[in-house]
Homo-oligomer: A and B are copies of this chain.
C-alpha cells in the first residue's frame, strides 16, 4: 500500500482544463502532478483532539493524560485504518495545537469501482434510463466497454468519495461520519478558487442565468445546490408578472384591487404547478429521477434488527405504525408551540401598538424602544425554542433516510418561520383594524384616555412595506456582510490567542516535534488556506429555501395590500442569485455535493402558501376593497361573517379547481426531457426485439408485426369458397328476399 507523498501532489501549479470539460477522464485524474493547488486533495478530514471527554470534569488530572493520549492515538489510527480499508490514500498535517488535517486522495481504481457500484445501484433503483443497455455494457469485459462510465464530473467524484468515507462499514464504506465520531469534526472538499471567481464574475455580468451556467454549477457543487439556483432563477422569472402588474396597478389603479387579487391567486397556482413540471424535467435532464430511493440509512437511525421482508438480510427496522403514532403525538406539541409563538407575537404586537400609538404618559421616550427590544429578543428566542423542539421531535420520529428526516424537520420549522413572518400582518389585517376602534371606544367608556390615532388600512400597507424593505435588507446584510466581519474579527482573536499560547508554549518546552515537518513555504500557505476553510460554517441550503418561500408568501398572500411587493421581491432576488453564489464561495465551507430530484419540503410549503393565498386575498379584498380611495365610503372595513365566509368558500374552491385543471393539462403534455427518455426506452425495446428475432415467431418488423409464417399463408380464398356454407347461404337468401 503506497501512501502518496505530500509534496508530490501540491507542489506543482500546472493547470489542466478541468473546469471547461466539466468532467475529468482517467488520464487527467491519474496525472495528479498536473492539477492545481486547490483541487489536489479530494477531501480534507478535520481531526480534533481537544480532550472532549475530560473537559467536563473541570480540572484535568495528570493520571488520565496518558490514557487520553492513548485513546486519541487509537482513534486516529482507527480513522487511518478505515480509510485504508476502503482503498483511500491520505497524508496528515497538524494545524494548530489541537487539530490534524487529514488530506484524502482517492486512487483512480477505487473511484472507478465506486462509480460502477453507484451506477449499478442507480440502475436498480430506476435512476438510469436505458436500463438494459447499461447493464449489458456492465456485463461485457471491461476493455470493450464504452467510456461513458469513465468520465466522472467533479461533483460526482466528490460525492462518491464522501459517500465511501461516511457510509457504514456494513454497507461498504469506511464508516467515518462527523456526526457520530468524537474526534472527526468535519469532512470538507476544498474550494476551487478559480472556479468560484469565474462563476461569480460570469453571473454578475449577465441578466439571466442560462441552462449551461446551471449545468456547470451542477457539475461542480452537485444537483442539490444546482436545484436551489434553478428554483431561484425560475421564481425570479415568474416574479416578472406580478412585478409588472403591481407597478401598473400602483401607478394607475386603486388600492386593494380585486383584479390584482384574482390575478395573484391564479399566478400562484400556475407558478407552483409549472414548477412541479420543471422539477420533473430537470430530474430527467440531470439523470437523478428516483434518486431518493438510492439514499443510504441515516447513521442516527435506530431500529431493532429484523430480517428484511424483501431481502431476508438482518436490517434495523422501525415500524411505520410506531412512527405514525409518534408523529400524531407530535401534532399537539407542534400546535402548542405554534400557539405559544402566536401568543408571544400577539403580546409584543399589542405592547407595540399601545406604546407607539396610544401611550402618552411617563417615560414615553424610553418605553418606545421596548417593542424593538422585545421583537429582537423575545420572538427569535421563542422561535428558536420551538425549532429545537421540532428538531427533537423529528429525531424522535426516527426517519430512515436523511431526505425524509430533512423533509419532516423542514415542514415543522416552516410553520414557526411562517408565524414569525406573517403573524403581525395577519393581526393587523384581521384583528387590529377591524376590531381596534371598538376596543378603544370600550376603554374610553371606562374613562381611560388615549392619544387619538386613526386606525385605517394605511397601517397595513406600512407594515408590509417595512417587512419587504427592512427584512430583505437585514437578510442581505446577515448573509454577506456580517459573516465577513465576524470572520475578520475571529481571525484577529485567534491570532492574539495564538501569540499568547505560543509564548506560554515556548516557556514550557521546546518545539522539536513540530520541526520534523519539512514542508515548503507553498505548503504552509496552502495549510493556512485549508484551515481557514475548515473554520467556515457549513452551507445550509434550507435557510436559503426558507427565505425564498417566505418571500413567495409575502407576494402571494399579501401583495394585494401593497402591489409593489412583487417589485421589491424581484429586485431582491436578482441580487440574491448572485450574493448566494458569493456566500457559497466565500462565506461557507464548500458543500459536499449531493443528489436530489426535487426541492422536497419546499414544494409542499409553496403549495400550502398558494392555497392559503386564496383565503387571504379573498378576505383582505372583502374587508378593505374600496375603504381607502373613494371619498364617500367609511375608513373602517366591512364586517359580516356570512358574506366573508361565502367569499372564502368560493375563492378556495375556485383555487382548488384551477390547480387541478392546470395540473391535469400540464400532466397531459410531455416535456422534451420526457420524450427523450421515452425515446431511449424505445431504443432498448427495439434492441431487445431484434435479438428475439424469429426465434419465437416474431419478425424484426416490431412487436406488432405479423409473423413471416402467417404472411406466407395468405392466399386467395375465392376458389376454395364455392362450397362454403356462408357463401351458399348469402346467395340463397339474398336472391329470395
Query: Which A residues have a C-beta under 8 Å from some C-beta of B?
Result: 1, 47, 49, 51, 60, 65, 68-69, 72-73, 76-77, 80-81, 84-87, 92-94, 97-98, 100, 102, 109-110, 112-113, 116-117, 120-121, 124, 132, 135, 138-139, 141-142, 167, 170-172, 309-311, 320-321, 323-324, 505, 508-509, 512-514, 516-517, 640-643, 645-646, 648-649, 665, 668-669, 675, 678-679, 681-682, 685, 688-689, 691-692, 695-698, 703-707, 709-711, 713-718, 721, 724-737
Contacts and interface: CB of A to CB of B under 8 A. Distances in A.
A733 B94 contact: yes
A47 B727 CA distance: 12
Quickly give the copy total for this chain. Answer: 2
B120 A689 contact: yes
B172 A706 contact: yes
A69 B734 contact: yes
A465 to B, nearest CB: 31
A172 B100 CA distance: 71
Contacts of A65: 734-735
Given A116-B696, A692-B139, A703-B124, A310 B678 contact: yes
Contact of A113 (B1, B698, B726): B698
A120 B703 contact: yes
A102 B77 CA distance: 85
Contacts of A87: 707, 709-710, 713
Contacts of A73: 727, 730-731
A724 B92 contact: yes
B725 A93 contact: yes
A84 B679 CA distance: 35
A687 to B, nearest CB: 11
A221 B351 CA distance: 74
Contact of A513 (B109, B695, B732): B732
A456 to B, nearest CB: 25
Contacts of A692: 120, 138-139
B172 A729 contact: no
Contact of A139 (B681, B691, B697, B698): B691
8 contacts: A73-B727, A77-B721, A94-B725, A109-B697, A117-B703, A139-B692, A142-B696, A517-B725
B49 A734 contact: yes
Given A138-B692, A642-B645, A509 B736 contact: yes
A711 B1 CA distance: 12
Contact of A142 (B695, B715, B734): B695
Contacts of A84: 713-715, 717
Nearest to A692: B138
Contacts of A696: 113, 116, 138, 142
Contacts of A514: 729, 732
A659 to B, nearest CB: 13
Contact of A310 (B142, B171, B679): B679
Contacts of A311: 679, 682
B734 A68 contact: yes
Contacts of A714: 81, 84-85
Given A310-B682, A695-B142, A729 B513 contact: yes
A507 to B, nearest CB: 11
Contacts of A102: 726
B646 A92 contact: no
Nearest to A172: B704
A144 to B, nearest CB: 11
A98 B311 CA distance: 63
A94 B112 CA distance: 73
B736 A309 contact: no
A528 B724 CA distance: 20
Nearest to A310: B678
A611 B309 CA distance: 36
Nearest to A665: B324
Given A94-B725, A100-B729, 20 more contacts: A60-B737, A69-B731, A76-B730, A85-B714, A86-B706, A87-B709, A87-B710, A100-B730, A102-B726, A124-B685, A139-B695, A170-B704, A172-B704, A172-B705, A310-B678, A320-B665, A323-B668, A505-B736, A641-B645, A642-B645
